[in-house]
Structure 1
Amino acid sequence: MLTDHGNQSVVTEFILIGFSGFPDLQVPLFVLFSIMYLAILAGNIIIVTTIRLESALHIPMYFFLSVLSSSEVCYTLTIIPNMLVNLLKEKPSISFLGCATQMFLFLGFGSTNCMLLTLMGYDRYVSICKPLHYAVLMNQRFCTKLVVFAATSVFLFSTLDTYFIFTLPFCGRNNIHHFFCDLAPLLELACGRNYFGEIIIFLLCILVIFCSFLLILLSYLLILNTILKIPTTDGKRKAFSTCASHIIVVVVHFGCASVIYLRPQSRYTLNEDTFISVTYTMVTPLLNPVVYSLRNKDVQIALKKYLGGRTCMQKV
C-alpha cells in the first residue's frame, strides 16, 4: 500500500512476490512446507525436551545443542507461518512495521545460530584438546554467560542492521522479490542510499558469518592436529565421530549464509535466492535434530529411553 504525502508516495506495506513465479505450485508448496514446518517444530522440541529430561545429557555440548534447537524454533517462527499464509493469499503482503519486526527477529536468531555453532566448535576443541581441564573450563555458569553474551551481541547487530534499512526512504515500489523481509531485496527497493549504513551492514555480516566460520575453522585445525597425535585408529575414529554432526550442520548453515550475505549486491537474482533461502530457513532447522538424532549415540539412547518408555505405557 502507498500513502501520498504531498508529491511523494510513502510505502506502508510490502508485497512479497518470492513465489509469484510458481502460481500453479503454491498449494503443493503450502502442503510441503507445512509438513516440513511441523517436522522442524517436532524435531527441535523433542531434542530440547530429551536433553532437559536426561541427566546424562547435562553437559556443555548438549546444553549448546538445546539452545540451538530453541533458537531454530524461534528463527523459523518469524518467517514460515507468514510465508504459509501468503502462499494461500491472492495478494501476499506484510505491513511496514511487520517487515521491520520480521527482519529484526530473523537476523537476531539467525546470527544467534551462527554464534552457537561457534561455541559448539569451541566446546569440541576444549573436549578433545584439553580433556583434563574440560570440567573447569566449560562449567555451566561459564557456558550460560557465553550464550547470553553471544545472543545479546548479535541482537545488537540486528538492531543496527534493521535501523539502517528502515531509515532509508521507501517512496514508490513496494514489491519485495522474496518471500520474507531480507536485507538485499529491501536495499533494492529503497529510493535513496545510505552508503555508511550499507558499509556497516556489510561489516556486521562479515563479523557474524565470516569471523564465526574462521573461529570454527581454527577450532577444527587445532582438533585435527590433536587427533593426528592419537596413537590408535579407534581413538582417532571416536574423536572424529564426536565432531561429525557439528561439521555437517556448519557446512550447510554457513555455506548458504555466505552465498546470500557475503556476495556483491549485483549478483542478486530472485529464483536462485528463493531456492537458497528455502534451504537455510527450512532445511537447516530440520537438519539439526535429524543429524544429531541419527549420528549421536547419547541422544539416540535418551530418545529410545523416553519415547520407548511412553510407548510401553500406552500399550499397558
Structure 2
Amino acid sequence: MGRDNDSYLQTFVLVGFSDRPQLEMILFAFILVFYILTLAGNTAIILLSIMDARLHTPMYFFLGNLSFLDLCFTTSIVPQLLWNLWGPEKTITYHGCVAQLYIYMVLGSTECVLLAVMSYDRYVAVCRPLHYTAAMHPRLCLQLVTVAWCCGFLNSFVMCPQTMQLSRCGRQRVDHFLCEMPALIAMSCKDTMLVEVFAFVLGVALLLVPLSLILISYGMIAITVLRIKSAAGRKKAFNTCSSHLTVVSLFYGTIIYMYLQPANSYSQDQGKFLTLFYTIVTPSINPLIYTLRNKNVKGAMRKILGFSKREESKPVKPQCSV
C-alpha cells in the first residue's frame, strides 16, 4: 500500500459540480452569501464573548470555541471552492490537497466532540443548577476544549496519512469539490479494506460516542424540564433545546451518512450536496440558533454598538439556550 513515487508532484482535479455547469454560477452566489454570513455571525459571537464581561461564562466560552471552529472549518474549504466555481481551472496541488484534508478532518472531528461537551455543560446548568459554578470551573472548561482538539488532531494524524498513501495509479480526478476522505479512498486502484476499517472504527469513536453522550444529556434535561410546574417554562425550555438538537441532528446526520458507510456504496452526487450543507449552511445558521436569539447576547450587542447607554450588570442565569 505504498505511495506512488511521484505523487508529491501530482496535481489533482477537483471535479466538483463541473458536470452541471449551469449550476456553477448559482452555487457561486449561494456559497458566497452563506460564507459572508458565516464570517459575520461567528466573528460577532467571538468578539461579544470576549468584550462583554457578562458573557464570561462556560456556555459562551464553548460557543466562542464553536464559532472559531466554524470560521476555520468553512474557510479551509470555501475560498478554493469559489475559485473553482468561478473559472475553468479546477486543480489543486498535492500539498494543497494534503493540507486541506488535514485541516478539514481536524476541525470536523473537533466539532463533533465539542458539541458533546456543550451538551454536558447544558446538562449541568439545567439538572444541577446549584452546583453549576463549582462544577464548570474555568480549568475544567479549558480541559474539555483541549480534549476536543486532541481528538481532532489524533483522528487527522491517523487517517490522513493512510488516505494519502493509497496507490492511485496516476488517477488525478477527485469526484468532489474538496479533498475529502471518502472521495480520495474511492480513487484508489488497490484494495482499501484496511483503510475503510480504520475509518469506520474512528468514525464510531468520534461520531457515535459523542452523539450518544448528547442524547443522554438531553434525555436527562428532558426529564428535569418535565418536572417544571409552569407549562410556559416547559414549553420555552423544550423549544430552545429542540433548536440545539436540530443543529446537532443536521451536523451529525450528514457526517454519519458520509463516513459510516463503505466507500463502494458512497454516492458522490449525494455526498457533494450533503458536504456543501454541513460545511457551508450549518456554520452560517449556528450563530442564529445558538446565540443570536439569546437576550444576553442581544444586550451585549446593543451595548457594544452604543444603542444602549446604560446596561445593568446581571449574572447570566443557566439556561437551555444552546
The TM-score normalised by the length of structure 1 is 0.90
Deviations 1:10-29 (A, max 9, x none): 87121111211221232332
The aligned residue for residue 130 of structure 1 is 128
Q: Is contact 1:108–1:158 with CA below 8 Å preserved after alignment?
A: yes
Q: Of the candidates 53, 61, 78, which is equivalent to residue 59 of structure 2? A: 61
The unaligned stretches of length 5 or more in structure 1 are: 312-316
The aligned residue for residue 28 of structure 2 is 30
SS in 1 for 2:176: coil
CA shift for structure 1 position 294: 4.2
In 1: Cα distance, 2:82 partner to 2:308 partner? 32
Q: Is contact 2:251–2:282 with CA below 8 Å preserved after alignment?
A: yes
Compute the RMSD of aligned alpha carbons. 2.1
The aligned residue for residue 121 of structure 1 is 119
Trace 1:164-183 onto structure 2 (pairs within 5 A): 164-183=162-181
In 1: Cα distance, 2:224 partner to 2:21 partner? 54
One-letter amino acid matched to 1:297: K
Question: Quick check: 1:192 aligned with 2:190?
Answer: yes
Deviations 1:166-196 (A, max 9, x none): 1111222211110001111111111222433
The aligned residue for residue 281 of structure 1 is 279
Do the aligned partners of residues 271 and 194 (structure 1) sit closer, same or farther apart at CA in structure 2, a change above 3 Å counting?
closer
Q: How many residues align?
A: 306
The aligned residue for residue 314 of structure 1 is none
Question: Quick check: 1:239 aligned with 2:237?
Answer: yes
SS in 2 for 1:15: strand
Deviations 1:209-228 (A, max 9, x none): 11111110010111111112
CA shift for structure 1 position 9: 8.5
SS in 2 for 1:48: helix
Do the aligned partners of residues 149 and 294 (structure 1) sit closer, same or farther apart at CA in structure 2, a change above 3 Å counting?
closer
CA shift for structure 1 position 158: 1.0
In 1: Cα distance, 2:168 partner to 2:305 partner? 52
The aligned residue for residue 258 of structure 1 is 256
Do the aligned partners of residues 163 and 9 (structure 1) sit closer, same or farther apart at CA in structure 2, a change above 3 Å counting?
closer
In 1: Cα distance, 2:120 partner to 2:188 partner? 40
Deviations 1:112-152 (A, max 9, x none): 11111111100011111111111111011110111011101
In 1: Cα distance, 2:51 partner to 2:75 partner? 24
Question: Quick check: 1:202 aligned with 2:203?
Answer: no
The aligned residue for residue 109 of structure 1 is 107
SS in 2 for 1:288: helix
The unaligned stretches of length 5 or more in structure 2 are: 310-322
One-letter amino acid matched to 1:88: W
One-letter amino acid matched to 1:57: L
Q: Is contact 1:11–1:171 with CA below 8 Å preserved after alignment?
A: no
Q: Of the candidates 196, 211, 236, which is equivalent to residue 209 of structure 2? A: 211
The aligned residue for residue 265 of structure 2 is 267
Moved more, 166-175 or 100-109: 166-175
One-letter amino acid matched to 2:210: S
CA shift for structure 1 position 38: 1.3
The aligned residue for residue 92 of structure 2 is 94
The TM-score normalised by the length of structure 2 is 0.89
CA shift for structure 1 position 156: 1.0
The aligned residue for residue 302 of structure 1 is 300
In 1: Cα distance, 2:216 partner to 2:201 partner? 21
Q: Percent identity?
A: 39
